[in-house]
């Protein structure tokens, strides 16, 4: 899967760990990349929304809290962060903030609602 990540980041025009921005991905591409062991899936929705349903392996770090501090203290900078929210707006903000502190970040365009559509259409 590391090869998939390298190819994906190469195709996106970035090298993992050196980007200063993030990439929004469709659900199919996001699904493929989150399987990599170097990717940490971060749900930035509220704990209540997270409890209602979330992606497998996702950890909940709400955007309205100390997002950067929690991520920096608990997730190695060598990991790629795969962030999502409910519709995609908050995850874009979170992705931008996390990329600004040095993380490689991908973001699920359309959020959890798009993920549910993708899963249901499979």
Catalogue the active-site residues.
85
Question: Three-class SS of residue 82?
Answer: strand
Q: Answer for the pair 75, 57: CB distance below 8 angstroms, yes or no.
A: no
DSSP secondary structure string, 4-16? Answer: HHHHHHHHTT--T
CA R_g for the chain: 13
């Amino acid at each position: 899967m590391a090869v998939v990540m390298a190819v994906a980041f190469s195709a996106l025009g970035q090298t993992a760990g050196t980007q200063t921005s993030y990439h929004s991905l469709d659900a199919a591409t996001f699904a493929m990349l989150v399987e990599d062991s170097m990717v940490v899936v971060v749900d930035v929705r509220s704990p209540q929304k997270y409890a209602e349903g979330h992606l497998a392996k996702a950890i909940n770090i709400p955007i309205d809290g100390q997002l950067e501090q929690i991520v920096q203290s608990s997730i190695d900078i060598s990991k790629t962060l795969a962030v999502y929210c409910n519709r995609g707006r908050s995850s874009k903000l979170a992705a931008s903030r996390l990329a600004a502190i040095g993380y490689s970040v991908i973001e699920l365009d359309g959020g959890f609602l798009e993920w549910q559509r993708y899963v249901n259409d499979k």
